[in-house]
């Protein structure tokens, strides 16, 4: 099961989850720094963004270890509040830090894929209104253009946003991100301003003729209906339009999906925009697409008596035949990665794309430690192998996928859950800061160096029930 020549193998992470030192080096607070300072009890075990995995202090060691794991690429992000603490002034110490990071990666043969936003809204901008206000799009465009100029000689693969739907969903339809409200109108407006920020960054990239290419990373979660009943199917279509196609269609096709527009009209939701905004979206498609895939979305018809509009539109459905990650509580459905591959091939012009995140979170990995002290995470190896078989099938059938990044290189800090669920190929010791390879690290090195899955039969789709 060989993968295409030049296939990208590596991992993904982000500045707020890896760097730590959030009060050092001239960095100003982002929303997570502020929230932790205000309500540390909300964060699992009271671990805040000041600590995390310490990449800011240990990046030289970490980059060398990435090389040992066989990485030929790595996706990270720039901290907006480190590079431009007040939104206007450039922080020279941050420029020096990121330039050294990217230079060392290149020296080790590791291609940097650099993301500009990973849920880390500057607190100064949040105080003004965050994604509720159009100014946020203008501020992001200035930040993006500054980053392109500072690092464009070292970076060829730029990502504007990672999972832009998540701050909208978790902050405006949930209380897991700030501002923590449930307001569908504000959610739609925040989503539009986020898309506008992306588009203005793409426009700046092309206008100034920077080298390389620019894309976006979306968490695509296929929506499967409970049945072929028309109400279940319509519910799945709307869920797909809201959580997948609300960004996927505009950034690739240049237009919003009809199902989403109809929903907004039916709910009398008004989204403020300028007359030329839709043309701006149409004229600035992405060069490539990153896809994060973890689990499917199972959907059934909504409850018409429910209080909230989304619950009236669709509800979660538990598939009786599902396979679960017992450590994380998420369904494991490997074929979903194949379904995404074919959808991109058939519905999105077979745009170049890569798996930007795929991984398995496990709580309490200490129990899987052997006598020598190494974590024997065969479950993670099996998780990756089964997904890669289905991805290989999609590539074999013509889908234009050029890489696979795991989440993540090393156990890192996560939003509110901190280090409760571990995802890394490398273990991070919270007490000592020591980095220790898990069994999956050696497996990944062999995979990356050989560019093939070892001695396994290709997946048989007839063995997977839909």
Q: What is the CATH number of the domain that holds 83?
A: 3.20.20.80
Residue 449's SS3 state is helix
pLDDT digits (tens, 9 = 90+) for 98-108: 999 999 999 99
pLDDT confidence of 326, banded at 50, 70, 90? confident
Judge whether 335 lies within some domain: yes
Report the C-alpha gap between 461 and 443 in whole angstroms: 25
Structure tokens that stand for 244 in this block: 């997948």
- Phi, psi for 10 (deg, rounded to 5): 180, -150
Any domain includes 18? yes
Say how many domains are in the chain.
1
Cβ-Cβ contacts under 8 Å for 108 (sequence gap 6 or more): 63, 64, 66, 67
Residues 442, 316: Cα–Cα separation, whole Å? 38
Is the confidence at residue 455, as pLDDT, over 90? no
The Cα 207–Cα 205 span in angstroms is: 6
pLDDT at 117 over 70: yes
| 367-389 pLDDT, tens digit each | 999 999 999 999 999 999 999 99
Cis previous bond, 312, omega within 30: no
Of how many residues is the chain composed? 466
Contacts of 399 (CB under 8 A, 6+ apart): 341, 342, 344, 345, 350, 353
Sign of CA dihedral 79, 247, 183, 129: positive
User: Which comes out higher in pLDDT, residue 45 or 281?
Assistant: 281
CA distance 95 to 194: 25
d(CA 401, CA 291): 10
Mean pLDDT along residues 274-282: 97
Q: Using one digit for the tens of pLDDT, what is the confidence trace for 148-164? A: 999 999 999 999 999 99
Tokens of residue 68, six digits:
């040992």
How does residue 459 score in pLDDT terms, banded at 50, 70 and 90? low
Average pLDDT over residues 187-205: 98
Residue 461 has pLDDT above 80, yes or no: no
CA-CA-CA-CA torsion sign (444, 447, 453, 454): negative
Please list, in sequence order, all residues whose beta carbon lies within 8 angstroms of the beta carbon of residue 380, skipping any fewer than 6 positions away.
Answer: 359, 360, 362, 425, 438, 440
Helix (H) or strand (E) holding 183: none
Q: Is residue 2 part of a domain?
A: no
* pLDDT given for residue 417 in this prediction: 87
Share of residues in the chain with pLDDT > 70 (%): 97
| Residue numbers of the domain that contains 315 | 8-459
User: Is the pLDDT at 396 greater than 80, yes or no?
Assistant: yes
Q: What pLDDT sits at residue 168?
A: 97
* Whether residue 460 has pLDDT greater than 60: no
Which residues on neighbouring strands pair with residue 332, listed in sequence order?
Answer: 323
pLDDT digits (tens, 9 = 90+) for 47-104: 999 989 999 999 999 999 999 999 999 999 999 999 999 999 999 999 999 999 999 9
Cα 398 to Cα 389: distance, rounded to the nearest angstrom: 15
In a domain, 466, yes or no: no
d(Cα 343, Cα 399) in Å, to the nearest integer? 9
Per DSSP, 430 falls in state T
Contact assessment for residue 16 and residue 81, using Cβ atoms and an 8 Å cutoff: no
The residues annotated as belonging to the active site are 163, 357
Instruction: Report, as an integer, the average pLDDT of 265-274.
Output: 96
Per DSSP, the residues of 312-360 read HHEEE---TT-EEETTTTEEE-THHHHHHHHHHHHHSTT--EEEEE---
Q: ∠ at Cα 67 (65, 73), nearest 5°?
A: 120
pLDDT at 465: 39
Average pLDDT, the chain: 95
- Residue 190's SS3 state is helix
pLDDT at 81: 98
Average pLDDT over residues 211-236: 97
pTM of the model: 0.94
- 464 domain-assigned: no
The region of weakest confidence among 146-150, 207-211, 219-223, 403-407 is 207-211
**For residue 466, what pLDDT band results from cuts at 50, 70 and 90?**
very low
Whether the per-residue pLDDT at 457 is higher than 50: the answer is: no
In a domain, 62, yes or no: yes
Residue 267: what pLDDT?
94
């Amino acid at each position: 099961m060989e993968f295409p020549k030049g296939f990208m193998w590596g991992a993904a992470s982000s500045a707020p989850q890896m760097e730590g030192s959030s009060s050092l080096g001239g960095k100003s607070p982002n929303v997570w720094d502020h929230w932790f300072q205000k309500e540390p009890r909300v964060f699992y075990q009271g671990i805040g963004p000041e600590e995390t995995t310490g990449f800011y202090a240990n990046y030289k060691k970490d980059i060398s270890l990435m090389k040992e794991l066989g990485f030929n690429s790595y996706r990270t992000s720039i901290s907006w509040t480190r590079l431009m603490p007040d939104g206007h002034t450039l922080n020279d110490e941050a420029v020096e830090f990121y330039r050294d990071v990217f230079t060392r990666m290149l020296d080790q043969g590791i291609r940097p894929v650099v993301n500009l936003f990973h849920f880390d809204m500057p607190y100064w901008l949040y105080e003004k209104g965050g994604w509720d206000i159009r100014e946020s799009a203008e501020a992001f465009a200035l930040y993006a253009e500054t980053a392109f100029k500072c690092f464009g000689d070292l970076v060829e693969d730029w990502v504007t946003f990672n999972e832009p739907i998540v701050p909208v969903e978790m902050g405006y339809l949930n209380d897991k991100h700030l501002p923590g409200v449930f307001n569908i109108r504000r959610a739609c407006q925040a989503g539009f301003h986020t898309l506008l920020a992306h588009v203005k960054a793409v426009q700046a990239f092309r206008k100034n003729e920077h080298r390389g290419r620019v894309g976006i990373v979306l968490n695509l979660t296929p929506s499967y209906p409970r049945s072929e009943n028309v109400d279940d199917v319509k519910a799945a279509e709307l869920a797909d339009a809201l959580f997948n196609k609300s960004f996927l269609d505009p950034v690739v096709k240049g237009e919003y999906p009809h199902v989403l527009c109809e929903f907004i009209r039916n709910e009398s939701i008004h989204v403020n925009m300028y007359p030329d905004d839709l043309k701006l979206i149409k004229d600035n498609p992405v060069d490539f697409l990153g896809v994060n895939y973890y689990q499917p979305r199972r959907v059934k018809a909504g409850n018409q008596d429910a209080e909230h509009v989304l619950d009236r539109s669709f509800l979660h459905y538990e598939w009786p035949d599902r396979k679960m990650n017992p450590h994380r509580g998420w369904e494991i459905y490997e074929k979903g990665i194949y379904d995404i591959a074919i959808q991109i091939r058939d519905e999105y012009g077979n745009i170049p794309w890569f798996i930007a995140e795929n991984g398995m979170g496990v709580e309490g990995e200490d129990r899987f430690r052997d006598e020598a002290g190494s974590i024997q995470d065969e479950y993670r190896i099996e998780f990756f192998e089964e997904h890669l078989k289905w991805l290989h099938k999609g590539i074999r059938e013509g889908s234009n996928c050029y890489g696979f990044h795991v989440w993540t290189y090393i156990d890192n800090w996560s939003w509110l859950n901190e280090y409760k669920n571990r995802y890394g190929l490398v273990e991070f010791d919270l007490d000592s800061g020591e980095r220790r390879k898990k069994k999956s690290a050696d497996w990944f090195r062999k995979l990356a160096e050989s560019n093939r899955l070892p001695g396994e039969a290709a997946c048989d789709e007839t063995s997977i029930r839909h």
